[in-house]
Chains A and B, each alone.
Chain A
């Protein structure tokens, strides 16, 4: 038997079965026929289908003597050998058949049965095809019944017909795939057929087939795709096996469906930025082994994947595994993965080696045992260039940076771009004692102006240096990380400098990297929770809203302060996912509270980070949060700090105007602590000015602070902004701020941020003292005395 014939044996078998079951006349015993076909296809002797603890179809036994107990035992895995009259001992293969209750298909073949992994896959495929066929039949039956019951139930009918049509499409796509394999099309055409098939089956615009690199199972390669931008393709070409939804499908070995991509399981930042809204991924198997995943995704909002679509993707992925199974394809496939890997070893922008390649080279050098050193170079303020001058200029800059670094080292030293604005140099010719000199030479090269099309750009670079006189103790990854740590120290010391690594630097980083790992887990495990700090309007004497504040309840560390984990979330991009979750959760929770108090609805303020503002999805996320929660837009306030705005004021203005158009309110947070540019305060469409607690804290100290606070409040008023005073901790502070015309407050004087249940109780209180708006002296104010206000705080804490 030639290779080409075994090649497509299983795909062919599956197509034949599919063809058989979809052409069987109505009323035919589909299960019996499928079992029969299965036994014949596998050259088996006996076969059976089990449902609900009974043998519902069997082949190969005399009609009168079907050994029910033996078959049930085989189905349960209690026995792996069937004793068959006339055929002797038969090896057993069992697979689940989901369309039957407790369904199993059992196949027996004379010993030595020697079921190959391809056959196991195929058998699983058969069970799936049978399930599809049974469900299609049920759907048809239902459709008939429905049509009989009510002629006008058009929608349900349409859905059912759609389901039936989809099966037909599946059949056609499988046949097309089959054809491309059997007619020995070049591999890339086969892979394209897989992608085209999935695209046409599911109808989403993005489809990708990722396969695990057999030489490096940690990494997966995108071997075929459609609907991806060139940039996304570059990024996805070779990526960690576990990344994204496709990675989940691989690790779980099961279908993963995410209809809310950015808030869901394991979203890829690139895909979020690209606007992917929903995605599904199914594992691709060879034999028992998951070798990759087939992913479909859409940028359309509100996509819902029907059960039929989910099943079809799984069936098609299953089929894909079989298709890729044969020897010829496997060989070509490995080659393709290797090629893609080789290609993936270079950074497409600068054509320098990438991180993977760099680490490999570093590993080799370590293996040689000669002294070496590593420079880790990170451009200073590159983001600013990118944001202000645009990506094309940013890209051009990176290219020239690569050239300048290369020009500053010796011929056999290796310069790599690790990603973003990070470069690394492996000095294997340069003696270690010259490493710092080299770093300095590079620094100087990079501080020269860059003449880019239409722009002269000045940047700098921070460099971490690791010198390794006797390589061997540390791995390549560890050395590079050390260089990274040293680079961070350099940044911390004020940019534009080089710092030599010292072991003590590691400790900080480790803590941070643990934090990063834990934070990722925390997002998946919902350890991040919102606490709500009441905002009171003393002119009406009640809680009018809250500020939602993120808290992380770490299983070991307890409550982690936001100041510790928010920067990590920002750096890793997790903030995007977290930010969106916060928006939705806060809106949903507030809407829930408001359902019980229709006359006095609460507002909720949510903080927005710079990353969220620049990722382009904020408006969409806010809209989603409002839709999901049903919270009226004016009740949602977005708080932005000055630092968030200054990066790109034009972009910020654009987004804020869009947000205003949604009807939400915008608050400027921490005003007066940073740049405090009056021009943008006037220019941007803010509704609320929050007086920072830094002003409030100073109030106790004297008149100057009080005047400053008064000036800020007056400024707010003159711009017709509402004023909310933050950080009120004492009655005295309250008295002063009330004295200058403020009535809306938040602070520990009443309550710290508290969990939702506690907040609900606070918000229900109606016995808060009202401020006398005109009151001037503390004594005249109905403000709690120091003793009394601690009581009030206690009261509010309850």
Chain B
């Protein structure tokens, strides 16, 4: 099988000054050998104030080939999202579109706030089908199942992946993953993230076609002639002794070691005074202090989203099982960046001999909290370095999805990388 030629991807200059790139140069897209259908991936971003302008600009950058099949949009909800969608769709009317709101975006050029990133996939070697489901209507698990059924529409392709974007504020996201897994089984990996709202923790948006939805799950089944690679890593480590989750109810942790969970949490961490009373201050603080729960061979990280000052409990983004052990976790620049490297190489290694066409990054907002602006810059640079010349697109999430080996696949405070070949 012939290898991909280099230089088929579009990339953009002017990284540091934020200047717009030149129009996509499609002339250097090299046609694949006959065994593999032609495929391309492009990425574009914009931070301009007007929703329509930003959408158009990012989309144009992303469209680096003919026959666009799928647009994946990660946009701050500071934009008027309907207008943004309309502008994007006008650039590629035939392509399917999925997307979500964010708490910061990732593009080849770097991380942005209040901006938009568009990833585009196209060419005969890709096939795409999309679906949406309303959580309130179907329940979490069935919503996961419902969107996963689109995977059946791309069965002709030898490689498949289900890209899932969901509302992390709509309940236990593990249930969505289970619902999807029940439909596609081990055959189709699941990857994606939970939409953000610039850390307000109020309402997130999911985008499908020209519509802006809330409390929904959106999925795109992508079929390809070449493999996908997935890498997952969090970079947190345990601090102090284990605590027993003596009472929990789904995502809500009521007591740790028989004491109100919030009190234990604040005391153990020596949280600043304002975090004891102010919900927003607490959320900011908690971002960089997740809980760890133990798994067979590692620990899973649970993002602490809110404090319930009334009941003295903690609300997490995923289930914290009662009777289990929990740790307070910490990370620093070094550990978080080490995780970045690991997630990227994991995804790329999984491609085998295939060169990556593009990288999706679903990066937890909490990791951004640890890294700070300077660190985030370094992180995105690292991702790009791993990607070599392949375009990168993604966003800062409220929870990440990656089910590729073994069951279970909802993560917190983690970087999930999907490499597309």
Listed in ascending order, the chain A residues whose CB lies under 8 Å from chain B are: 1-2, 4-5, 8-9, 12-13, 15-16, 18-20, 36, 39-47, 59-65, 84-87, 109-110, 174-175, 178-179, 182-184
Contact = CB atoms under 8 A, between A and B. Distances in A.
Interface of B: 151-152, 178, 181-189, 238, 241-242, 244, 246, 257, 294-299, 321-325, 405-408
Contacts of B321: 16, 19-20
Contacts of B408: 39-40, 43
Given A45-B186, A59-B182, A12 B296 contact: no
Nearest to B155: A62
Contacts of B185: 46, 59-63, 65, 84-86
8 contacts: A2-B238, A5-B294, A12-B325, A19-B323, A43-B406, A62-B184, A62-B187, A109-B406
A87 B186 contact: yes
Contacts of A184: 241
B178 A60 contact: no
Given A46-B185, A62-B185, A183 B406 contact: no
A318 to B, nearest CB: 16
A86 B187 contact: yes
A8 B322 contact: no
Given A39-B408, A61-B185, A183-B257, 10 more contacts: A1-B299, A15-B324, A40-B408, A45-B186, A59-B185, A62-B151, A62-B185, A86-B189, A174-B323, A182-B242
A8 B257 CA distance: 15
Contacts, number: 113
A40 B294 contact: no
- Main secondary structure on chain A at its contact with chain B? mixed
A62 B190 CA distance: 13
A12 B324 contact: yes
A47 B242 CA distance: 30
B188 A86 contact: yes
Contacts of A44: 406-407
Contact of B325 (A42, A59, A84, A182): A182
A178 B323 contact: yes
Contacts of B238: 2, 5
Given A4-B242, A18-B323, A110-B406, A86 B186 contact: yes
A110 B405 contact: yes
A198 B321 CA distance: 24
Task: Name the 7 nearest CB pairs between A and B, nearest first.
Answer: A15-B323, A86-B187, A86-B186, A87-B186, A40-B408, A43-B406, A16-B321
Contacts of A16: 321-324
Contacts of B322: 15-16, 19
A677 B324 CA distance: 74
Contacts of B189: 86
B354 to A, nearest CB: 18
A183 B259 CA distance: 14
Contact of B183 (A4, A62, A182): A62
B328 to A, nearest CB: 14
A372 to B, nearest CB: 55
Contacts of A109: 406
Contact of B296 (A4, A41, A46, A59): A41
Given A61-B186, A87-B405, A43 B181 contact: no
A695 to B, nearest CB: 77
A8 B325 CA distance: 8
A776 B27 CA distance: 142
A45 B182 CA distance: 11
B299 A5 contact: yes
A42 B186 CA distance: 15
A65 B152 CA distance: 12
Contacts of B186: 45-46, 60-61, 84-87
A68 to B, nearest CB: 14
Contacts of B298: 1
A182 B152 CA distance: 45
Given A5-B242, A5-B294, A12-B294, A63 B407 contact: no
A85 B186 CA distance: 6
B408 to A, nearest CB: 4
Contacts of B188: 62, 86
B120 to A, nearest CB: 27
Nearest to A8: B325
B178 A36 contact: yes
Given A86-B188, A86-B189, A179-B244, A45 B324 contact: no
A12 B242 CA distance: 12
A86 B188 CA distance: 7
Given A2-B238, A43-B297, A63 B182 contact: yes
Given A179-B244, A183-B244, A42 B296 contact: yes
A183 B242 contact: yes
A315 B298 CA distance: 27
A42 B257 CA distance: 25
A46 B407 CA distance: 7
Contact of B407 (A1, A8, A39, A182): A39
B407 A40 contact: yes
B297 to A, nearest CB: 6
A44 B186 CA distance: 10
Nearest to A66: B185
B310 to A, nearest CB: 23
Given A182-B242, A183-B242, A175 B299 contact: no
A60 B181 contact: yes
Contacts of B151: 62
Contacts of A19: 321-323
A223 to B, nearest CB: 24
Nearest to B184: A62
Given A12-B294, A86-B188, A36 B407 contact: yes
Nearest to B408: A40
Nearest to B322: A19
Contacts of B242: 4-5, 8, 182-183
Contacts of B297: 1, 43
A327 to B, nearest CB: 15
A109 to B, nearest CB: 7
Contact of A175 (B178, B241, B323, B407): B323
A175 B299 CA distance: 20
Contacts of A5: 238, 242, 294, 299, 325
A59 B294 contact: no
A647 to B, nearest CB: 58
Contact of A9 (B181, B184, B294): B294
A1 B293 CA distance: 12
Contacts of B325: 5, 8, 12, 182
Nearest to A40: B408
A12 B326 CA distance: 11
A184 B296 CA distance: 19
A18 B185 CA distance: 25
A20 B178 CA distance: 15
Contacts of A64: 152
A299 to B, nearest CB: 34
B379 to A, nearest CB: 25
Nearest to B406: A43
Nearest to B409: A40
Nearest to B149: A63
- Residue among B152, B297, B298, B407 with most chain A CB within 10 A: B407
A109 B408 CA distance: 13
Given A5-B299, A12-B325, A63-B182, A45 B187 contact: no
B313 to A, nearest CB: 17
Nearest to B238: A2
A446 to B, nearest CB: 60
A443 B88 CA distance: 110
A494 to B, nearest CB: 69
A436 to B, nearest CB: 66
A85 B187 contact: yes
Contacts of B178: 36
A167 to B, nearest CB: 14
A521 B247 CA distance: 52
Contacts of B405: 45, 87, 110
